[in-house]
A and B are shown apart, each in its own frame.
Chain A
Amino acid sequence: MSQITDAPRRSSLQGATLPKWTPWAIAAGSVALGLGISAAAGLDSKIQWGLMAAVFFVIASYGVAARVEGPRQAKDRVATSLVWVAFLLAVVPLVSLIWVTVKRGVKVLDGYFLTHSMGLITDTEPGGGIYHAILGTLEQVAIATVISVPIGVLTAIYLVEYGRGRLAKAVTFFVDVMTGIPSIVAGLFVLSFWIIILDMGYSGFAGSMALTILMLPVIVRSTEEMLKLVPNELREASLALGVPKWRTIMKVVLPTSIGGITTGVMLAIARITGETAPVLLLVWGSSFINTNPFEDPQASLPMYIYLQYANSGGSGAAYDRAWAAALTLIAFVMILNLAARGIARWKAPKTGR
């Protein structure tokens, strides 16, 4: 009896709804269908059944919802399933990238690999290592950091503390534009004036100059954001005590925002560590250990990956080394990123200190 009265009452207030497990059931069904068709048709690629399953999922959720719940609800369900499909489509390649790099990278990655160079080994032979490349990368990045941090932080200070008028506007605009310079153009610029016009040789320092150009805008932007977060009361209190402006900046503003600035610098380092193109143009590459960044070609980690790939001649040993170097590079960049974000959370500027 109660069942009979129940059903019409629900439908009068709220349209029929599908049970909560419907999307999962549809998803499972469409994946099964995709796998079934690809098995039957003998398709070998995972992309094919994945795409088929995605299409089935969207169509089926529209069909089922349109029959049971009406067109508006059906559109809503299609949008939901499209968003989920987009999410999965994006996650699959990104997870695959990390997974493959780790899986194939650990094969040759060991102490020997990290502490030996490629000096006596041709690219097609097994063995060898990335010591020379790590050394080159560290030196080039260190030089770029040493040049660009003071300039970048001072520029940000100018923009936040002093900057008014046309010059500041121009600097702001060009910093924005500079963020978008392709790395290879920065490399070409240093090539044209340092190597072609000044006739200097290929060296780690030339690479560092290109990296500086790429690093500067990132540091300026992040430092600017951090300085803007420093509460004005701190500056006013310091000025009111008769402290000159430059000492106010050095002793009050910078220490307050040092955590954020460090974060920005570390993120910038992480970004330029992986830059290949300018290094390829300016550092030239070498399979020997060269500890002097100011003279003679050096190696660098991203360039090592590229050269191992390009000169491999299809040899498995070179690919293994490339993957191991890629894993090292990703690990370095990720650790820098995580540390930077950790510092940002730990040292976030507190108001009313």
Chain B
Amino acid sequence: MHRRLEPHAACGSADRRTSWTYPRKLLTLPPPPLRPPTPTRSPDADQKRAARGATRPGDRVFLGLSRGSGIFLLVIMAAIAVFLTYRSVIAISKDESNFLTTLEWNPTAAEPSFGIAVLVYGTIVSSIIAMVIAVPIAVGIALFITHYAPRKLGGPLSYVIDLLAAVPSIVYGLWGALVLAPQLIGLYGWLDDYFGWTGILDWQGGAPRSLFTVGVLLAIMILPIITSVSREVFRQAPQMHQEAALALGATRWEVIRMSVLPFGRSGVISASMLGLGRALGETMAVATVLSPSFEINASLLDPGGGTFAQNIASKFSEASEMGRDALIASGLVLFVITLLVNGAARMIIARRAEYSGANA
């Protein structure tokens, strides 16, 4: 780059002006015409050299360092997959029963037998409850901030919600176990009275430390993230469409239904999937609230069940070497599930690049 710029300084003003016709490319792809093409090198090689951008020792070192960091990140991701898979294979090969369908967790027995059926059920059920509660409410809050709240209230409110996303999950767990769970007893009684006949909402009267409570707590925890992404999307809904709808006599709800929601649909979907990813991997809040057992209850209100992350956290301290490998195997399944969910969310976001979920 240095060599290229030097003849420049000696050039007349006319030449300098021509050099500025490529301001965008100057950053990374300096225009070839500036340098007299050397006959020995093909223009192709020239381009490659320019794209590398490293023509001096300092540049080369710096490029190496920064590219190295990027590669390091990829290596970490690969290492996570490789090491988890390695330990999981060891564990699963010793498993005497089917890893996917077994309803017990007994990796330390003489004939190790453990399976993830209960964990899959618990994780999915609690996440579904969380999503069913959180998504409509989060969309409501996002609409409230962008379209309903008085302007003076909207700004501080979104600020507060962003702050709440930073509250550590263990604090949510403590609050959920000591404050939320006792408050839910009355609601449980109701659900049992009116919907107990469904079987799903049947309640034997135990402590409300069940998958349903976990779902409610997870919903509260993922509200801030879904809200903040949806809010950004709704805020970008085209003003002209909304004003046109208003001018045609639409009510506020009709404006939102016809111009804001269709615009924000994919944003809300990806926000929900980000929230889902968080709910799937949540550990401490579940571990503090749930009273786990290794069985599948049809009823959501009776204590019992477990999730991947909760099982790892609560079984870990007593686990032997084999037990740890078994937990790692279940962690690998969780890793793959969250990878799929997050990858899908990112793809939906990437399709509409205006709002990257960068800070989400």
Contacts and interface: CB of A to CB of B under 8 A. Distances in A.
B26 A330 contact: no
Contacts of B6: 242
Nearest to B349: A176
A89 B180 CA distance: 14
Interface string A60-90: 0000000000001101101110111111011
A164 to B, nearest CB: 7
A97 B172 CA distance: 7
A174 B148 contact: no
B171 A97 contact: yes
Contact of B171 (A101, A225, A271): A101
B46 interface: no
B274 interface: yes
A164 B28 contact: yes
B200 interface: no
Interface in B292-333: 309, 312-313, 316, 321, 324-325, 327-328, 331
Interface stretch (B36-44, B80-88, B97-105, B239-247): B80-88
A306 B338 contact: no
B174 A305 contact: yes
B33 interface: no
Nearest to B256: A79
B236 interface: no
Interface in B4-21: 5-6, 9
Given A44-B186, A174-B74, A189-B83, A179 B312 contact: no
Interface string A245-264: 11101000000000000000
B118 interface: no
Contacts of A76: 251-254
Nearest to A77: B253
Nearest to A170: B74
B137 A216 contact: no
B70 A93 contact: no
A46 B70 contact: no
B152 interface: no
Contacts of B144: 83-84, 86-87
A158 B227 CA distance: 32
A302 B79 contact: no
B168 A93 contact: no
A240 interface: yes
Interface in B164-209: 164, 166-175, 177-180, 183-187, 190
B56 interface: yes
A37 interface: no
Interface residues of B, number: 111
A155 interface: yes
A337 B334 CA distance: 30
Interface residues of A, number: 110
Given A89-B137, A185-B334, A245-B59, A72 B251 contact: yes
B168 A330 contact: yes
B38 to A, nearest CB: 21
B4 to A, nearest CB: 10
A87 B26 CA distance: 50
Contact of A220 (B62, B73, B169): B73
A151 B175 contact: no
Contacts of B190: 48
A188 to B, nearest CB: 4
A163 to B, nearest CB: 7
A72 B254 contact: yes
Contact of B187 (A48, A79, A216, A274): A48
A180 interface: yes
A155 B73 contact: yes
A173 B343 CA distance: 8
A193 B79 contact: yes
Interface in A76-123: 76, 78-80, 82-87, 89-90, 93-94, 96-97, 100-101
3 cross-chain pairs, A with B, having the tightest CB-CB distances, nearest first? A274-B168, A182-B281, A86-B140
20 contacts: A43-B186, A90-B140, A94-B164, A154-B66, A155-B72, A162-B67, A178-B73, A178-B76, A180-B341, A185-B331, A196-B87, A236-B23, A271-B166, A273-B168, A274-B167, A276-B168, A276-B283, A305-B174, A329-B168, A337-B163
Given A86-B137, A232-B24, 19 more contacts: A46-B183, A72-B251, A72-B254, A96-B179, A97-B179, A154-B65, A158-B66, A177-B343, A184-B309, A189-B80, A216-B76, A242-B2, A244-B2, A245-B54, A270-B166, A275-B168, A281-B316, A329-B170, A330-B168
